[in-house]
Amino acid sequence: MSDLKILVVGAGATGGYFGGRLLQAGRDVTFLVRPARAKLLRERGLRIVGLGEDTVLDPPLVETGSLDGTYDLVLLAVKASGLASAIDDFAPAVGPGTLILPFLNGLAHIDVLDKRFGSDAVLGGVAKVQTTIDDDGAIRRLGPLQSLAYGARAEAPTNLAAVDEALKNAGFTAALDARITESMWAKWVFIAAIGAVNSLMRGTIGEVVAVPGGADFAEAVVAEAAAVAAAAGYPVPAADLAATRKTVTDPAMGGSSLYRDLLAGHPVEGEQIFGDLTARARELGVATPLLDLVTLQLRVHQHRIG
């Protein structure tokens, strides 16, 4: 059994889910949360519901501003808009041997974390899970997908094996990935493609591909995003690219979490997913007219909601 001290930053749909599973598996997990979330978790527990499950956990909590020691591993699962404040919140937990494992969309967060803590301390990570937060604060499972991939982006740190041991056999798929940066790009292409198809057409994938030209449009979006990854030196592996194409042309497929937020009038990760991707495309000389369009559309949305 791993004895790594793990700090989970973000007890939402992703951090709350994987942190909860690690807690169930007996790992030494503490959640760093803001006062309002702490109050809710103390009153109702950390609940994981859906797909026939109704789990209630009593997680160890530390409120922001109250950290009094360092941790071996920081699991970072926050929205891009909360990254800067989250970094300030968990910085006191970072010691000389601490590894930071972020699960955010895109790659912009890596540069920010590297600058603050040094690239040797920052791992690459990809989380795949179908969850959302209910109105009552419970983490609701929407599908069976639940996996983490993680790895060193350059030379592997000496305690990477301990991280791998801590994350495996905890109720979800966990894998050490020797090509984690490539995997992060592959996920970026996937979420950008599905988010762009939903957002530009204001419909689910099923609704888009049900009309003439819909599937061709979806394929064109995938091709743009994949071209950026390839130009950056991280071409999406053939199997991943085929899976992305299949998803964005699947008549039974719904909408992405970004699309759900867009329809609800909530903030979206437009800059993290699309703004950064199109900026890199311009630097690399890759034309991305469809991705440019969705970037502009989401900027208008953000401006509208303030």
> Is 144 exposed, middle or buried (CB count within 10 Å of its CB: 0-12, 13-18, 19+)?
exposed
Question: What's the length of the chain?
Answer: 306
CB 28 within 8 A of CB 6: yes
Residue 126: closest CA among 111, 112, 145, 143: 145
Compute the CA torsion angle 181, 183, 188, 194 (nearest 10 deg).
180
CB 9 within 8 A of CB 15: yes
CB 8 within 8 A of CB 15: yes
Nearby residues of 43 by Cβ (< 8 Å), 6 or more positions away? none
Nearby residues of 164 by Cβ (< 8 Å), 6 or more positions away? 150, 174, 176
Q: How far is CA 149 from CA 103, 180, 226, 276, in A?
A: 10, 7, 20, 22
Q: Map tokens 């094996």 to a residue.
A: 161
Residue spans of the chain under pLDDT 50: 1
Integer Cα distance of 106 and 128 in angstroms: 13
Residue 109: closest CA among 64, 78, 131: 78
Residue type, 42: R
Cβ neighbour number for residue 239 with a 10 Å cutoff? 9
This prediction has a pTM of 0.95
Instruction: Supply the DSSP symbol for 14.
Output: T
Integer Cα distance of 123 and 152 in angstroms: 5
Nearby residues of 8 by Cβ (< 8 Å), 6 or more positions away? 15, 16, 18, 19, 22, 29, 30, 31, 32, 75, 77
Q: Map tokens 């889910």 to a residue.
A: 17
Residue 175: closest CA among 152, 150, 145, 144: 150
Instruction: Supply the DSSP symbol for 122.
Output: B
Q: Map tokens 């995997």 to a residue.
A: 183
